[in-house]
Amino acid sequence: MKFYYDLHIHSALSPCADDDMTPNNILNMAKLKGLDIIAITDHNSCKNLKPCMEIGKELDILVVPGMELQTMEEVHVLCLFKTLDAAMEFQGWVYSNLPKIKNKKELFGRQFIYNELDEIVGEEEIMLLSSANVSIDKAYNKVKSLEGLFIPSHIDKESFSIISNLGFIPYNLSIKALEYVDLIKLEKLKIKGFIPDDVKFIKNSDAHHLGLISEKENYINLNKRSIDDFFAYFD
């Protein structure tokens, strides 16, 4: 069966996202657009996952718990997990490796934490746009230890991507999937030999605004819409 997805969506916890990227607004927009599976992937934090997952159950949308990690190489990686507990354990590890720099909200934006009613229940004070003091290798190993999925973000972009920043995809990492933005650029990377064999490709919105959440166009084939089937697809 076809299940339509968008696995790269930022809530208002990410300082660069609009303040109207609240849990209910995101999930209702995803429902309106006909999406079946989404992932909330805020920068270096998972603190809005719980309300999004609860609302997703009500709207019959599978919400995959995740984060967009920024490594010490300034590479963005989607880190997806089977459970909220695993995601929160990963967050604790990331927070322990983030610089203790206070967010400059007037410069970078606010970092709002919500409940399931879209009420602001807190504001993250640590600047989430910093690079965590962890390498690509260490991040990969930590995600795998939590049975998670490690997907380098927007590999065809000229900044914050594994290829633009490292110049290659490390051969020692068993990458199962890559995110791309533009098909033509992706094909050029394939021709140049940057892409490993037997890897799946996903195209997401990287939405920081409600209107940018993906339309009903990108899909994966699963037997049923479940977290286990979702992860099995990438094995």
Domains and CATH numbers, the chain: 2-233 (3.20.20.140)
DSSP state of 167: S
> How far is it, in rounded angstroms, from Cα 192 to Cα 108?
36
The per-residue pLDDT for range 139-186, each reduced to its tens digit, is 999 999 999 999 999 999 999 999 999 999 998 899 999 999 999 999
What would you report as the CA-atom Rg of the chain, rounded to the nearest whole angstrom? 17
Quick: pLDDT tens for 121-135. 999 999 999 999 999
Provide the 10 A C-beta neighbour count for residue 79.
27
Q: Which two structure tokens, joined as six digits, stand for 224?
A: 């049923």
DSSP one-letter string for 192-207? TT-SPSS-EEEE---B
Strands 149-152 and 219-221: unpaired
Nearest to 42 by CA among 83, 94, 3, 85: 94
Cβ–Cβ < 8 Å for 70, 132? yes
Q: What is the pLDDT of residue 196?
A: 87
Three-class secondary structure of residue 182 per DSSP: coil
Residue 214 pLDDT class (50, 70, 90 cuts): very high
pTM (predicted TM-score): 0.97
CB 194 within 8 A of CB 172: no
The number of angstroms, rounded, from the C-alpha of 51 to the middle of its chain's C-alpha atoms is 16
